[in-house]
Every structure is written in structure tokens, then in C-alpha cells.
Amino acid sequence: MRLLPTKNCKPGMKLAKKIYTEDGLVLLGRGVELTERLISRLIECGVGYVYVEDPRTADIEVPETISEETRIRAVAEIRSAFREMVSAPRRKGVTYPYVGKQLRGVMNMILDEVGNRQDAMIMLMNMGTVDHYLYQHSLNVCIYSTILGMAEGYSKDELMVLGLGALLHDIGKTQLPPQLLSKPGALTDLEFAEMKRHAEYGFQLLKDEPNIPLIAAHCAFQHHERLDGSGYPRGIKGNDIHEYAKWIGIADSYDAMTSARAYRGPMLPHQAIEQLFVGTGTLYEQRMVQVFRDKVVLYPIGLTVKLSTGELGVVVDINGAYAHRPVIRVLNGADGRPPAEPYEIDLSKQLATMIIGIAHDETDISAPAGH
């Protein structure tokens, strides 16, 4: 399979992976043949990248960070919990203990799958629509934060608290007008001031919930605070920001950058990591961003890349210890022609060869295998 920008897809291509709605339901199944209308509709829905079938990479399967069943169940539980907390009347002294138990169940599912894999990596997960972006984003940030917490050596109890903070970091956005969240253009100063209040709204929603740790409420409060005090809502800095909120802030920024939004398309992982590094020392702790980089699959399986040798190829495997140096199957040689026999280059072993760019447009996806 190959990973392509949706705008580069052509009628007749077939999907190699399912595309989901924000609620976790299947929008288009594997094997669906794309038409002009479907491609246009996917672009309108904000689906920035899709996996499509390609004879020369038909044997490639992209591993999932969590199973489809767990992802669908988790999104459904997150949606249910969020709606329960924001739709019921808020009266002084009234809490919603079931919500905390519900989300602990989600965290147990995630820990059962991710927590047992010491080699778990942060992979591109945003193959869905941007409608009601909140639920899938909350799940992604939770998974990313859990993987980071594992890399830090946190205990299961610590991972539970970190994960709950990540799941609930944006719940304050449920208190904002929907039109503000989905506005396609730049926010006015007044609109941005209202948007920033979601951190405080989240803290107020969570701080008195009996089955949600108070630290999780502070993660919602602090995930937009930054190292140099330039964040919001309080402008706190350095060690005044809880460590969990710092991890969640990095994961939240990364997922926002790699997701399509109403006002822009998604970045690829290596582009988003570059942006995070720009903010090291001022916005984010350098050590934390380095840990994040080491756990991210910078070049997703199926991505077409250009090598320093002039060859073009597709990422077919990831080297866990060297995530930035994957295995590449060459589709075009340095002379621009397909090789007589396909061959692969392991960049973790051929250190003189580097990825120098992404090449979405430079290979013929319809070429038969072996040509």
C-alpha cells in the first residue's frame, strides 16, 4: 500500500485502509474504488492523506498503534463521557462518578494494548474526517502521552493519571460555541480570547469529579502553558507547569499539526517534529522533545521518499532504534527508471544514504509489479 495526499489521488485507485468518521465509524472501507466525487468529498471532509493499493507494495501492511476494535470502543466511550458531563445540568455539589469509571475503562484498554509493548511507537493516526475533531484528537493525545510516559518509566498508576489527563485535556472545548471551533479562517482577538478559556473551563468541569484525579484536572488547565511563560491561561512557566501537562502539551501540539483542520491541511510527522524543535528551550523542554522524536515514526510506512542517491522509493519498514532511518523499497533508480528487480535499502545500515524529501508525484502508482 502507498500513502498519498488525497488531492493527489486519481479515479480508479482503491483504498488500502479504512477511513473513519470522528465518531469512530467506518466512512469508506478497504477496497473502495475512488471516484472524482469521492475524492472531492474526502478533501471537503478534511481527509488529508489516504492509503491506496499499489501492486509493487501490495505486501506492505501498516501496523496499528491500537486495534480497530479498541479504537472504535474508545472513541464511543469518550464521546459518551464528554456528552454526559456537558449535557447534564451543572448544580453545586453534583458530580458524575460514572464518567470517571467509564474513562478509566478506556485507559485500561489502552494500557492493555500499548502498555505491554515496550517498542510502541507514535504512528500517524489521522486517517479520518475533521468533523467533531475533539474525540479522535483526545484519543490520539492519550495514546501518544501514554507511550511517552512508558519511555519515562512511569508506573501503571502514573500512566493511568497521565492518560486520564490526556483524554480530558480538551474537554473544556465542549463549553465553546461549535462555530468557533470550526471557523475556517483566522480568529478575531475576541474569538481567540474565548478559545483560550477552554483550559479554565476544563479545570472547572473536572476538579470536583470523584473518580478523576485532581492532577488530570490540572492537565486540562495547564496543557497550553509554555516553558517561558508565553502560554495560557495563567502564563506560568518552568517547573510551575506539571510534568504531565508538559508531555500532554507536546502531544497535543504534534497531533494538531498532523491533523487536517478547517483552516489548513495536515503536516507529515517529520515536519511537525521540526516545528516542535523550533520551540525547544522556549515553549517545550528540549529533553522531552528529544524523547518524543525518538518515539515518533517520522516517515510513515507507505510514504514515497527521495533519497540522496537520486533513487525514489516507498517506506516499507521501521527500525525501532532508528525511527528516522527506515527501510526503503526502491521504485525508481537514480536514472529515473524502475529497476529490473525490486530491491530494498536499510537506511540504518547504509548511513551515507539519507532521505532528502517527499516525492508524492514522481512515481506511477499504476505500474505493474516488477517493472
Report the CATH number that the domain containing residue 12 is assigned in CATH: 3.90.105.10
Same domain, 308 and 219: no
Of 268, 295, 322, the one marking the end of a domain is 295
pLDDT at residue number 167: 95
Q: Is the pLDDT of residue 186 over 90?
A: no
Could you read off the pLDDT of 210-262 as tens digits, one per residue? 889 999 999 999 999 999 999 999 999 999 999 999 999 999 999 999 887 66
Total tally of structural domains belonging to the chain:
3
**Bond before 233 cis per omega within 30 degrees:** yes
DSSP letter at 212?
Answer: S
Do both 56 and 98 map to the same domain? Answer: no
Identify the domain boundary among 243, 262, 295. 295
Q: Where are the alpha helices (DSSP H) in the chain?
A: 36-44, 68-87, 97-114, 134-151, 156-167, 178-181, 189-196, 198-206, 214-222, 243-257, 269-278, 286-295
- Quick one: 231 and 114 in the same domain? yes
Residues 128 and 222 in one domain: yes
- 58 lies in the same domain as 82: no
Say yes or no: 25 and 162 in one domain.
Answer: no
Same domain, 121 and 265: yes
| pLDDT for position 84 | 80
Tell me: do 28 and 147 sit in the same domain.
no
Beta-bridge partner residues of 188: none
Residues 187, 147 share a domain: yes
Share of the chain above pLDDT 90, in %: 56
Q: With H, G, I as helix, E, B as strand and everything else as coil, classify residue 115.
A: coil
What does the pLDDT read at residue 129? 54
Show the domain range for 367: 303-371
Helices assigned H by DSSP within 197-333: 198-206, 214-222, 243-257, 269-278, 286-295
**End of a domain among 295, 319, 337?**
295
pLDDT tens-place string over residues 280-330: 999 999 999 999 999 998 898 999 999 999 999 999 998 877 888 999 999
Do 73 and 58 share a structural domain?
Answer: no
Lowest mean pLDDT among 18-22, 32-36, 88-92: 88-92
Are 81 and 152 members of one domain? yes
Q: Are residues 338 and 288 in the same domain?
A: no
